Amino acid sequence: MTRTMLSCGVVAGALFVATTAVQAVTREGFDLRRHGISLLSHGDLGWVQTTNFVVSGLLVAGFAVGVSRMPHPGGRGALAAPLLGVAGLGLVLAGSFRVRSYGGFPAGAAPAGPSTAARDGLLHDVGTVLAINAGLLACLALARRFARSGERGWARYSVVTAVAGAALAWWPFGGTAVRLALVTVVLMSWVSLVAARLLREQDALRRGAAGLPGRRSARRGSGPPGVGRGE
């Protein structure tokens, strides 16, 4: 079960980023400079992005279960699982309620009633805030785990992701649509890469428990692509 749940994280990040990117370049009238990716939930094809939010959120929640079943040296990283669970539920909430349409996208969209639009927009924003902030905190929680295990490359990568994601999410000077698209790519890419890393660790633990030859440490001396390796 642990392996299956960790695999959910590998799929979640890639699925969300790829599905959103394809829509961003193919949906007529969509301009990332003016339109947030949440607007893709509107229009005849809006169900694609709505489903993307919900399915990706459920996959992140599944990944959280997998993380909770992994060993955490000295208790480091134990908070990552509940934080990832909150992030996943935030995505589900954001997908379940649509942000108010703006900026002329999609063309000819029928406006919702004021009370409905306000309620749905608020709940969507709550889900977005939960997903982003819980995800950033999960980066820091797993950074502690990796540092404790001597995996300095993965620890640095997780910290850089948290810092870059926070700067993009909360920079107060405009460019909101682009910044939130970038923080989505940064965070969801981290989810997939870290899930793949923990999956390799789980496989190594299973081989060791079974007494199989060829076990290779998935901990010391490893790091994500482009990040310095631990000593």
**Per residue in 72-113, pLDDT tens?**
776 667 899 999 999 999 999 999 999 988 888 888 766 555
Q: Give how many domains the chain has, as a whole number.
A: 1
Cis peptide before 213 (omega within 30 of 0): no
Closest CA to 81 of 129, 134, 132, 127: 134
In a domain, 231, yes or no: no
Give residue 229's pLDDT. 46
- For the whole model, what pTM was predicted? 0.87
In a domain, 223, yes or no: no
In a domain, 216, yes or no: no
pLDDT at residue 123 is higher than 80? yes
Alpha-carbon Rg of the chain, whole angstroms?
Answer: 19
In a domain, 230, yes or no: no
Give residue 84's pLDDT. 97
The range of the structural domain enclosing residue 50 comes to 2-210
Give residue 104's pLDDT. 84
In a domain, 120, yes or no: yes
Contact, 201 vs 70, CB < 8 A? yes
SS3 at position 119: helix
Q: Which two tokens stand for residue 74?
A: 């000295």
- 134 or 208: which carries more pLDDT confidence? 134
How far apart, in whole angstroms, are the C-alpha atoms of residue 211 and residue 192? 29
Q: Tally the C-alpha atoms within 13 A of residue 90's C-alpha that lie toward its C-beta.
A: 18
In a domain, 217, yes or no: no
In a domain, 222, yes or no: no
SS3 at position 148: helix
Query: Tokens 């965070």 identify what position?
Result: 187
Closest CA to 60 of 93, 36, 22, 25: 93
SS3 at position 102: strand
In a domain, 169, yes or no: yes
Exposure string over 9-38, b if 16+ CB within 10 A, otherwise e: bbbbbbbbbebbeebbeebeebebeebbbb
130-133 CB contacts, 8 Å cutoff, 24+ apart: 130/86, 130/87, 130/89, 130/90, 130/93, 131/57, 131/87, 131/88, 131/90, 131/91, 131/94, 132/87, 132/90, 132/165, 132/169, 132/183, 132/187, 133/169
pLDDT at residue 226 is higher than 60? no
